[in-house]
């Protein structure tokens, strides 16, 4: 049997998967976790004598500090927001599924900032066609970059192939920072598949993968039929 490891860049996957499966964000965390797991195991082809080794899910816990909103002045408890609660519950639901290993980084609070949700709105602010006072509080969100996630993904890829634990790596990500890890996997004889979920990828990453394959269109259509 050919052992397969599926490595999931959690933040990238959640944004893309939610837009395709639940654009209204009406789904509870338990149902979302179930659909996510079903999507991941689609990458294991039993007809080709493949067997799932493990699913590695990489993400960060949400921020929990309390801060003042820049436009409304209201006191905001980041840990009690609907998004934070959903993310925390999702993490707990995911680890209940078979073969799932959670790998957690952290959010960089030191460089966190308030950002406008919409790119169009941001452009209007820069052009001066809209004033800051015209932006509603729910159009601004607090953003902190991830730390440690890419490093953990790279180290796990190296460990899996150098110890010959798997013969196939499936990476679900749109990040080109994984070129060295992909090159190493292929050098060690592993089959490296990238699922960028229809996102465009850079040429240097495309050069060092064996296959670019996604199930997102088929899966979203299947979900729509059964929902």
Beta bridge partners of 14: none
Q: pTM score > 0.85 for this model? A: yes
Q: In this predicted structure, which of 16-30, 50-64, 86-100, 116-130 has the lowest mean pLDDT?
A: 116-130
Contacts of 8 (CB under 8 A, 6+ apart): 40, 55, 56, 57, 58, 172, 173
DSSP state of 63: P
Report d(CA 81, CA 65) in Å as an integer: 11
- Block residue for tokens 């003042």: 68
DSSP string, 137-183: GGGEEEE--EESHHHHHHHHHHHHHHTT--SEEEEE---GGGHHHHH
pLDDT digits (tens, 9 = 90+) for 16-34: 999 999 988 899 999 999 9
Tokens for 226?
A: 């059964």
Mean residue pLDDT of the chain comes to 90
Report d(CA 202, CA 72) in Å as an integer: 40
pLDDT digits (tens, 9 = 90+) for 181-219: 999 999 999 999 999 999 999 898 899 999 999 999 999
β-pair type (66-68, 75-77) = antiparallel
Tokens for 96?
A: 């209940």
Tokens for 219?
A: 């899966």
């Amino acid at each position: 049997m050919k052992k397969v490891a599926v490595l999931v860049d959690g933040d990238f996957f959640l944004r893309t998967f939610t837009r395709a499966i639940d654009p209204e964000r009406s789904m509870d965390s338990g149902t979302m976790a179930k659909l996510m797991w079903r999507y991941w195991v689609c990458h294991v082809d039993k007809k080709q004598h493949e067997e799932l080794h493990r699913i590695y899910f990489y993400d960060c816990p949400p921020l929990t500090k309390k801060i003042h909103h820049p436009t409304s002045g209201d006191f905001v408890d980041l840990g009690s927001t609907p998004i934070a609660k959903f993310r925390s519950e999702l993490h707990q639901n995911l680890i209940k599924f078979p073969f799932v290993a959670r790998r957690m980084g952290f959010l960089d609070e030191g460089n966190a900032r308030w950002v406008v949700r919409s790119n169009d709105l941001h452009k209007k602010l820069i052009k001066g066609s809209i004033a800051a006072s015209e932006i509603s509080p729910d159009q601004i969100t607090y953003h902190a970059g991830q730390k440690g996630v890419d490093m953990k993904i790279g180290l796990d890829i190296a460990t899996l192939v150098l110890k010959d634990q798997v013969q196939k790596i499936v990476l679900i990500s749109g990040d080109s920072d994984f070129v060295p890890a992909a090159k190493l996997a292929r050098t060690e004889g592993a089959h490296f598949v990238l699922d960028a979920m229809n996102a465009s990828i850079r040429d240097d990453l495309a050069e060092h993968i064996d296959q670019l394959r996604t199930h997102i269109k088929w899966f979203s259509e299947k979900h729509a039929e059964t929902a």
